[in-house]
């Protein structure tokens, strides 16, 4: 089987890219790190989100085990690093976390695991597509509120909605999943097996690659997403996203947490 890949690893508006990639022969993954709400940094201003995604990526890249066991090991390693750095692991607002979407190609199948808002999308020969795991909309309620206040205040919207953002962060591994050291991560770890027959492309990507939307209540526009990718490739898809974001630097037309989010994405073509 001939496999070609294209990938993107690009920093957003922050000073450091908290998204990471795993690329290891037949194993591919993306990880979207999130630091604590206290924004504490360590070791030359390294963020907790960077630590979380990098730890997970490293474990998946360097080890040969089932994906479920690698997720367990990554989750445990994140917890151990937080303890080492003196993080109060009993306080959810202090925890580092990462979402993840990882697959391993085994003959004519893929095995995959996913948690949080990193996604896996399969594109078939006829142009149709499938997203095996959903449940990536934990920010929908917040972004609906964001849209409501966007044109009613001159203040920084993330500060206006500070209580709401803390509320959603407290729901990690209660209503949505992440790898953050908590044992309950397992309740939200999605996994499965998919046949490769008829598959032309598989995309793994963090939410920074999603096309900005004015309507957080609707699903992301995956039709346009897939169409741009098939016609122009992964880089052109990223440029389309960045262009829309640049047209709305204050995040008031397209509700989102920052002008440009970090991106980690890989396209695997057969």
Q: Which domain holds residue 73?
A: 4-269
Please name which of 186, 133, 158, 132 lies closest in space to residue 252, comparing C-alpha atoms: 158
Q: DSSP labels for 116-184? A: TT-EEEEEETTS-EE-S-----TTHHHHHHHHHHTTT-SS-HHHHTHHHHHHHHTTBTTTB--BSS-GG
Q: Examine the pLDDT at 39 and tell me if it is beyond 90.
A: no
Structure confidence by residue, pLDDT tens digits, 163-212: 999 999 999 999 999 999 999 999 999 999 999 999 999 999 999 999 99
Average the pLDDT over 62-71 and give the result.
94
Band of pLDDT at residue 122, cut at 50, 70 and 90 = very high
Specify the residue for token string 């917040």: 142
pLDDT at 246 over 80: yes
Residue 21 tokens read as 């990639």
Residue 25 banded pLDDT, cuts 50, 70, 90: confident
Residue 2 pLDDT: 86
Domain count of the fold of the chain = 1
Give the three-class secondary structure for 87: coil
d(CA 142, CA 140): 5
2/187: higher pLDDT: 187
pLDDT at res. 151: 87
- Output the CA–CA distances (angstroms, integers) from residue 57 to 6, 156, 228, in the order listed: 18, 33, 28
Question: What sign does the dihedral 255-257-259-263 (CA atoms) show?
Answer: negative
Q: Is the pLDDT assigned to residue 101 strictly greater than 80?
A: yes
* Alpha carbons 75 and 67: distance in angstroms, whole number: 12
Q: What is the domain-level CATH number for residue 121?
A: 3.60.40.10
Give dist(CA 83, CA 85) in Å, integer: 5
Short-list 119, 260, 90, 101, CA closest to 179 = 101
Residue 5 has a pLDDT of: 95
Q: What is the DSSP letter of 187?
A: G
């Amino acid at each position: 089987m001939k496999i070609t890949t294209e990938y993107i690893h690009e920093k957003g508006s922050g000073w450091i890219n908290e998204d990471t990639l795993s690329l290891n022969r037949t194993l591919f993954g993306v990880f979207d790190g999130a630091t604590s709400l206290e924004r504490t940094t360590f070791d030359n201003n390294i963020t907790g989100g960077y630590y979380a995604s990098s730890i997970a990526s490293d474990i998946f890249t360097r080890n040969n085990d089932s994906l479920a066991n690698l997720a367990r090991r990554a989750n445990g390693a994140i917890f151990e690093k937080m303890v080492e750095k003196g993080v109060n692991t009993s306080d959810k607002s202090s925890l580092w976390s990462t979402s993840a979407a990882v697959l391993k190609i085994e003959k004519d199948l893929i095995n995959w695991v996913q948690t949080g808002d990193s996604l896996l999308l399969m594109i078939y020969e006829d142009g149709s597509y499938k997203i095996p795991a959903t449940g990536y909309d934990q920010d929908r309620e917040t972004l609906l509120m964001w849209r409501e206040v966007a044109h009613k205040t001159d203040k920084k919207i993330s500060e206006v909605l500070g209580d709401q953002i803390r509320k959603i962060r407290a729901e990690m591994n209660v209503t949505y999943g992440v790898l953050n050291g908590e044992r309950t991560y397992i309740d939200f770890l999605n996994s499965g097996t998919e046949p490769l027959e008829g598959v032309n492309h598989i995309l793994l990507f963090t939410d920074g690659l999603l096309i900005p939307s004015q309507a957080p209540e609707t699903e992301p526009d995956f039709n346009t997403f897939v169409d741009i990718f098939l016609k122009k490739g992964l880089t052109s898809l990223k440029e389309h996203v960045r262009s829309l974001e640049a047209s709305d630097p204050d995040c008031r037309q397209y509700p989102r947490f920052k002008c440009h989010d970090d991106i980690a994405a890989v396209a695997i073509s057969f």
